[in-house]
């Protein structure tokens, strides 16, 4: 069906028409990678090249999986399995583990905190909250790199792992070993074990490997620049001696190296799969020419990133770089600019302030709140897991038995009034404001549904909310987003302010090697390419108004032509 590909540009279409793997798609920021891979799958299925029931698309988050599944549905394609690495592996474990072992599948622990704390206590290593968090992160890094405690010691020295506080590589190794023992005694597993155990079983039990390979013949992997060694090994086990796999990613957006992600599998994909066909997506449909120009300059010194963007948006406002005397002045000026943007007609939800570390958010929260501008912290608790949202949904369900033909919006407003919603936001109190924002977001969703379908009633609305919850399509409140650059990846806004672009913050002070510095460069690139039209970079010469704690402009901005 040629019409499936009609919506694609020439680069996207070339990749989508290549339905036999191995295929590697290098897709720059805002170039339509999700559109390309969904249309590729749909094209292959509708032309009978791929059986949807034998097709597995793998993503990194349940939200991304939900979006990909939704887009395939819009293209009229059903039956394709779309899962995260972990959910696909866990599904296979639950089915096959009882067939090969007398015991039940180990219990999956939602958090390794308790077991790490026990192991740290046993090894007489500091077990305060921060130390346990850092130990857990190191253990996760070791496991996704398929390292034993002994191998961890060697690798950690080799790559100069940066440990905080009193932790040493030797201490981490001992705690890691004790942790494994403790988990084994409890017949428990963590999320890394899900991947490790599935990979090991596929390697050691031919019956399982044959069954899985018979089930899945065609593979697509999104965000391939973020795969870890254990995820790559799992993919190889799924494939066996076959090579019908399409991967898509952007080495320029590799920003999770600290947790084990590596772009080497994307960059060197052809060395693993000899018949690889490469494609590049370079047309940015997100950012204007000035933004793309500066972003390309930032990336120019990173030889591992082959894609250079060209804008399909055309001209736009110049990218600005501003220095301020202090963090306080930076926050105040950014607040003023945001007020002006909102006054010009840009919705608060189309504006974001991005920063390198989470502790930078507080001053912007305070300043924007003082201006009466609502804020939303990205990376906070998931929308449908918030207490006030769960309570609201319970009350909406309780109202399902009420019949009548009142407009949906009136019904929802009445029900939510019983749990604290009012037509006006509370004057003060961050907690009260956040609760109101959550409830008001539900009211806004009801208004949207009523506008689309004036006959919609409460059961229709509850069903729509259930679908959103299932796919993790949390609605965005009409608020300015505050987020770390890591939390902003994959998102976009009309206007983006990147704050704190100074030495010690971006690049971060502990980025001392060339590899670490290049990751900071990619972080800045990711931050810049979140912007559609307005991009403002800034830094403060000192932390305080008294001038103490002098800073310098980031070396990442050196020689950039604005």
What pLDDT, on the 0 to 100 scale, is given for residue 548?
60
State the Cα–Cα distance between residues 350 and 292, nearest whole angstrom: 19
Residue 84 lies in a domain: yes
- Are 171 and 314 in a shared domain? no
What pLDDT, on the 0 to 100 scale, is given for residue 167?
87
- Are 9 and 45 in a shared domain? yes
Which of 414, 437, 471 corresponds to the end of one domain?
A: 471
- Are 227 and 294 in a shared domain? no
Which of 186, 215, 234 corresponds to the end of one domain?
A: 186
pLDDT mean values, one per 10 residues, the chain (562 residues):
84 96 95 97 95 96 89 94 95 95 90 94 87 91 97 93 85 97 96 97 97 97 96 98 96 91 95 96 97 95 79 96 94 97 97 90 85 82 74 88 79 90 68 73 86 88 82 69 93 97 91 90 97 98 70 92 86
- Are 421 and 531 in a shared domain? no
- Are 445 and 456 in a shared domain? yes
Instruction: Mention every residue, 6+ apart, whose C-beta is less than 8 A from residue 239.
Output: 213, 219, 245
| Complete DSSP assignment for 124-167 | T---SHHHHHHHHHHHHHHHHTT--HHHHHHHHHHHT----TT-
Residue 94 lies in a domain: no
- Are 483 and 527 in a shared domain? yes
- Are 26 and 84 in a shared domain? yes
What is the H or E stretch that residue 28 is in?
A: none
What pLDDT, on the 0 to 100 scale, is given for residue 396?
92
What pLDDT, on the 0 to 100 scale, is given for residue 538?
98
* Helix extents (H) in 251-403: 264-267, 269-272, 289-299, 327-343, 361-370, 387-398
- Is residue 367 within 8 Å of residue 331, measured between CB atoms? yes
Pairing of strands 218-221, 320-324: unpaired
Residue 96 lies in a domain: no
Residue 99 lies in a domain: no
Nearest to 45 by CA among 35, 57, 37, 55: 55
- Is residue 237 within 8 Å of residue 209, measured between CB atoms? yes
Report the sign of the C-alpha dihedral through residues 483, 489, 490, 496, in that order: positive
| Number of neighbours of residue 385 by Cβ within 10 angstroms | 11
What pLDDT, on the 0 to 100 scale, is given for residue 476?
64
What pLDDT, on the 0 to 100 scale, is given for residue 99?
93
State the Cα–Cα distance between residues 170 and 148, nearest whole angstrom: 13
Nearest to 96 by CA among 220, 177, 206: 206
Residue 100 lies in a domain: no
CATH of the domain at 85: 3.40.50.300
- Is residue 478 within 8 Å of residue 447, measured between CB atoms? no
- Are 370 and 512 in a shared domain? yes
Residue 370 lies in a domain: yes
- Are 239 and 372 in a shared domain? no
Residue 46 lies in a domain: yes
Instruction: Mention every residue, 6+ apart, whose C-beta is less than 8 A from residue 96.
Output: 201, 205, 208, 211
State the Cα–Cα distance between residues 486 and 256, nearest whole angstrom: 8
- Are 17 and 59 in a shared domain? yes
First to last CA, the chain: 45
- Is residue 24 within 8 Å of residue 209, measured between CB atoms? no
Question: For the chain, how many structural domains are there in total?
Answer: 4
State the Cα–Cα distance between residues 71 and 419, nearest whole angstrom: 35
Nearest to 221 by CA among 401, 34, 1, 360: 34
What pLDDT, on the 0 to 100 scale, is given for residue 8?
96
- Are 340 and 393 in a shared domain? no
- b/e map 335-362, b = 16+ CB within 10 Å: bebbeebbeeebebbbbbbbbbeeebbe
Domain residue limits at 390: 383-471
- Are 320 and 254 in a shared domain? no
Residue 359 lies in a domain: yes
Which of 254, 281, 308 corresponds to the end of one domain?
A: 281
């Amino acid at each position: 069906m040629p019409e499936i590909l009609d919506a694609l540009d020439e680069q996207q279409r070339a990749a989508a028409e290549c339905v036999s793997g191995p295929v590697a798609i290098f897709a720059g920021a805002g170039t339509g990678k999700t559109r390309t891979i969904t249309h590729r799958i749909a094209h292959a299925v509708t032309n009978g090249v791929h059986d949807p029931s034998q097709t597995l698309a793998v993503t990194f988050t349940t939200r991304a999986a939900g979006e990909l599944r939704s887009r395939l549905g819009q293209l009229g394609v059903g039956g394709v399995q779309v899962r995260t690495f972990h959910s696909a592996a866990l599904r296979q474990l639950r089915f096959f583990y009882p067939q090969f072992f007398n015991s039940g599948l180990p219990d999956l622990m939602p958090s390794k905190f308790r077991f790490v704390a026990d192991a740290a206590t046993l090894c007489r290593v500091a077990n305060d909250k921060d130390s346990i968090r850092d130990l857990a992160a190191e253990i996760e890094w070791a496991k996704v790199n398929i390292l034993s405690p002994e191998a961890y010691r060697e690798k950690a020295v080799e790559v100069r792992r940066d440990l905080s506080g009193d932790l040493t590589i030797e201490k981490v190794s001992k705690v890691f070993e004790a942790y494994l023992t403790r988990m084994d005694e409890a017949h428990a597993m963590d999320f890394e074990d899900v991947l490790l155990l599935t990979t090991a079983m596929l390697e050691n039990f031919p019956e399982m490997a044959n069954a899985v390979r018979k089930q899945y013949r065609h593979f697509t992997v999104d965000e391939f620049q973020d795969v870890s060694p254990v995820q790559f090994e799992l993919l190889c086990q799924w494939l066996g001696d076959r090579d019908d796999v399409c991967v898509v990613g952007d080495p320029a957006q590799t920003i999770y190296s600290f947790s084990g992600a590596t772009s080497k599998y994307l960059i060197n994909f052809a060395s693993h799969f000899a018949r690889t066909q490469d494609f590049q997506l370079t047309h940015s449909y997100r950012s204007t020419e000035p933004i793309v120009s500066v972003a390309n300059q930032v990336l120019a010194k990173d030889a591992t990133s082959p894609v250079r963007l060209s804008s399909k948006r055309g001209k736009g406002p110049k990218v600005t770089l501003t220095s301020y005397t202090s963090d306080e002045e930076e926050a105040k000026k950014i607040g003023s600019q945001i007020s002006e943007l909102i006054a010009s007609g840009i919705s608060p939800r189309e504006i974001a302030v991005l920063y390198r570390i989470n502790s930078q958010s507080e001053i912007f929260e305070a300043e924007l709140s003082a201006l009466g501008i609502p804020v939303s912290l990205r990376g906070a608790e998931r929308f449908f897991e918030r207490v006030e949202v769960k309570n609201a949904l319970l009350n909406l369900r309780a109202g399902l038995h009420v019949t009548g033909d009142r407009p949906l919006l009136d019904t929802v407003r009445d029900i939510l009034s019983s749990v604290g919603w009012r037509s006006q936001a509370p004057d003060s109190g961050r907690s009260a404001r956040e609760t109101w924002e959550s409830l008001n977001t539900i009211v806004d969703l009801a208004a949207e549904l009523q506008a689309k379908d004036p006959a919609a009633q409460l059961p229709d609305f509850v069903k729509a909310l259930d679908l959103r919850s299932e796919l993790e399509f949390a609605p965005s409140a009409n608020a300015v987003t505050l987020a770390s650059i890591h939390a902003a990846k994959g998102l976009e806004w009309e206007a983006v302010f990147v704050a704190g672009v100074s030495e010690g913050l971006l690049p971060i002070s502990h980025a001392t090697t060339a590899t670490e510095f290049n990751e900071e460069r990619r972080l800045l690139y990711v931050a810049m390419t979140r912007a559609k039209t307005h991009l403002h970079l800034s830094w403060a010469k000192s932390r305080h108004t008294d001038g103490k704690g002098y800073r310098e402009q980031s070396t990442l901005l050196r020689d950039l032509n604005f």
